Chain A
Amino acid sequence: MLVYIVRRLLWLPVLLGAVTFVTFILGYYGPGDPVQVRLGTRYTPEAAARLRREMGLDRPLLVQYADYMRKAIRGDLGESYTYPGRSVSSLIGKKIWVSAQLGFAALLIGVSLGIPLGLLAAYRQGTWVDTALVSSALFFYSMPVFITAPFLILVLAVRLDLLPTAGWKGLFSPHIVMPALVMGLPGIAGIARLTRAAALEVIGQDYIRTARAKGLPEHLVQGRHVLRNALIPVATVVGLSLAGLVEGAFITETIFGIPGIGRLAVDSIFRRDYPVITALTMIFAVSFVLANLLVDILYAFLDPRIRYR
């Protein structure tokens, strides 16, 4: 197992190299240019040439790339173009942490409510409970954030005055409730549907009937057999969405005024803030790889038939 993990992790540097190189190429050859964005409508060719020289952007692509990688290996991700003087790592670090907290809360909501509801629907299959749950799941899964968010703000913050309208004060403050709810609702819906489908499939299996026939108490049938097997596809989805924790959520963050990574990512792209864009791309790539690895390891625990060499 350990060997397997190490072997998977060895791909990381290769992946990072490829991802950053592609990002560099896109930035170098693509339209738009950070110097022009910086100068805005006060552009003059002389100022642009001077800034380009000073920022090192007039060097050949490979030289810039080698320079970047050399510094990155030592942990220096450079300085932002939009926020001159601010190191990329300090800019990103705080925001990723905020987004991760929010994403985690949303995921928690999704899992803790989604799985029980899905199981409920599976066991009450065919009854009104099942239909209600499935249709609401479809409804909330399809609702975009910019519909649910203002609605929640209107009801919970403005009318009932239970929660603050916006802002961010950390994981354990009322500010997190609404954004986490807004992000978690589609999660609940998705996980519920998935759990229901998986549970239905498992329940119909022969070994469940066998277990009951053997006289196994119902709670053990549920806990040891149904749940564990039904959770495998759910674990896949949840595990992969862990990677999404660091991606942030642009719309939610904008509506609720949360200083997260989603807004930074979108803004950096429009402003051609290459150091930030490159760093973010690397982080997303790493988190995706790690999330995949985590899911694969989880499989090994959930399904004894799976062995890694």
Chain B
Amino acid sequence: MKKTLVWLPLVILLLTLAAVGCRREAARPPAPEAAPPGQAAPGVTATPTPTVAPGPRTGGVFRRLWDDPPTLDPHLTTDVTSAFVILEIFSGLVTLDYDLRVVPDIAERWEISPDGRTYTFYLRRGVKFHNGREVTAEDFKYSFERAADPKTQSPVAETYLGDIVGVVDKLNGRATEVAGVRVVDRYTLQITIDAPKVYFLAKLTYPTAFVVDREQILRMGRRWTEQPNGTGPFKLKEYKVGERIVLERNPDYYRGPPKLDRVELILSGGNPMAMYENDEIHITGVGLADLERVRDPRNPLHKELVQAPLTFDTYYIGFNVTKPPFDDVKVRQALNHAINKEIIARQVLSDLVTPAYGILPPGFPGYDPAMQEKGLKYNPDLARRLLAESKYAGRMPRIIMTVPGTGGSAGLDLEVIMDMWKQVLGVEVEVQQVEWATFLQELNRGTLQAFAGLGWIADYPDPQNFLDVLFHSKSPQNHTLYNNPEVDRLLEQARVEMDWNKRVELYRRAEETIIREAPWVPLWYSGERFALIKPYVKGYRLLPMLVPRLKDVWIER
């Protein structure tokens, strides 16, 4: 064999590498966190350009990337991918406005009884389903009954509607009707809950409480979501699985027709940055990989960059307080004090996160900036002292921290943290990576010693959603098994306290105690997120929570 031609493939290889080498990185599949950009990510407040802006005009198509929603049935929604679409097609008694306050939607006003347990909703007249039929209180009764029907198999009925008298009974087969929902007359609906819980209204903004068309469901059965007859600002015009969803303006929408003609959600995937630069989509999140390039003022894209507000989520490491060594509060506190979160946030995560010292995220109702000062800050001497005082000093048992995932690393931040624990305290922690379904199973069984890689994202804007749900000793989502009767008492009181300021004070005291007893290491609040929006797309709000917003978007061309 002639040796001369061995170099030919080598030349090919070198040429290949040269071509790839310079400049821009290959258009890689985009940042997944950008999964659907602006998912819960609240985006940025896209303020219209300050120059002379002509008034909103109708028409136009708004395009973005999205993923296949697991379901379009409001009563079965558990995730953001589905909720984003559902919020535009359906609606309910109340909704959230852009300031995250509960405001009237199909109900134009409501009254709360003096004992705080009975809500009377007065519906707007003339609200129509997409097919023209008027919405009445009977339709809401049907919808609540359906959501609470075990045959519907709603995974979240207990979470969002469980406070209504009779819902849990019906779900468990002990009743055939939800006693707490009553039709008073054609436009009046009464709902009774089991205790004067102030956060109940916020839960009604979630799709589980939305109204659906009984006639359609009876006629079409399980397939009714293929052409849903909703009440929202948009109708579902087309849904080609894996390809696209087209939403069309509902001209009879009771709060005024949307300006856009259509919204197209591209489901077939692709490279968001490339598609955005190609004008195939109008908005995209900007991932870590592209951030520097876009932030460069010399890049024309720089002008279209907008900053997203912080999302309401907190990432943390959880300790199972029933398992050694985490049954000793000093160990938990020591591990907290040994971490320098500022350095990690800045250098490892490029300031895309904000260090967290408390449970509630910034901007969340009930958030107190002073809480960050009460957190367990970086203090290596204190950390070492606490560890020495604990009962495991010198005889630390094996520590395994479990994270969900499939290969690769557990996350750069966690790796640095484990290193810090080793350097400051001499404590070695092993990481065990388990795929998601198995992780959930072990988490729910309470077998995990320590766990990370999780974040808690707000379902509704009320502190109960964080503090009570995560730290009350009897809450099923309390995976640290934290049990403090004093905190329980504060939380139970706050559930039914009607005065907002007193409630906030109760939650503040609870949060202080929780932070001090450290069942968690609070790690991060999602920090600055960035998105690119085409300059001719106006009115698109980026928000910390999922709120219907497409009706206010317009295209200026």
Contact = CB atoms under 8 A, between A and B. Distances in A.
A135 B242 CA distance: 39
B222 A257 contact: no
Interface in B360-397: none
Contacts of A257: 268-271
B242 A131 contact: no
B316 to A, nearest CB: 12
Interface stretch (A18-26, A30-38, A291-299): A30-38
Contacts of A151: 16, 19-20, 26
B270 A167 contact: yes
A55 B154 CA distance: 11
B219 interface: no
B9 A132 contact: yes
A221 interface: no
Given A51-B153, A131-B5, A154-B26, A166 B70 contact: no
Nearest to A253: B269
A100 B547 CA distance: 40
Q: Is the interface of A mostly helix, strand, loop or mixed?
A: helix
Interface string B274-314: 11001000000000000000000000000000000000000
Contact of A135 (B6, B155, B454): B6
B14 interface: no
Nearest to A47: B158
B5 A55 contact: no
Contacts of B71: 83-85
Contacts of B172: 46, 50
A139 B27 contact: no
A55 B27 CA distance: 43
B437 A270 contact: yes
Which bucket holds chain B's interface residue count?
Answer: 35 or more
Interface string B16-39: 100110001011110000000000
Contact of B26 (A131, A150, A256): A150
A33 B437 contact: yes
Interface string A129-141: 0111001100100
B482 to A, nearest CB: 16
A191 B4 CA distance: 25
Interface in A129-180: 130-132, 135-136, 139, 150-151, 153-155, 157-158, 164-168
Which bucket holds chain A's interface residue count?
Answer: 35 or more
Contacts of B156: 42, 47
Given A36-B440, A51-B155, A42 B275 contact: no
Interface string B148-167: 00110101111100000000
A185 to B, nearest CB: 13
A41 B477 contact: yes
B225 interface: yes
A94 to B, nearest CB: 6
A50 B436 CA distance: 22
Most buried by B among A42, A55, A258, A270: A42
B515 to A, nearest CB: 21
A275 B159 CA distance: 27
B256 interface: no
B438 interface: yes
Contacts of B171: 46, 50
A178 B4 CA distance: 32
A165 B271 contact: yes
Given A43-B444, A271-B437, 7 more contacts: A31-B437, A32-B440, A46-B171, A47-B156, A128-B2, A151-B26, A168-B243
22 contacts: A31-B438, A40-B78, A42-B78, A42-B156, A43-B444, A55-B153, A83-B68, A126-B1, A127-B2, A128-B4, A128-B5, A135-B9, A139-B9, A154-B26, A158-B24, A165-B274, A166-B270, A166-B274, A168-B242, A168-B268, A257-B271, A270-B436
Interface of A: 31-34, 36-47, 50-51, 53-55, 79, 82-85, 90-91, 94-95, 98, 126-128, 130-132, 135-136, 139, 150-151, 153-155, 157-158, 164-168, 254-259, 270-272
Interface of B: 1-2, 4-6, 8-9, 12-13, 16, 19-20, 24, 26-29, 68, 70-71, 73, 76, 78-79, 150-151, 153, 155-159, 168, 171-172, 222-223, 225, 241-243, 266-271, 274-275, 278, 406, 435-438, 440-441, 444, 454, 456, 459, 476-477
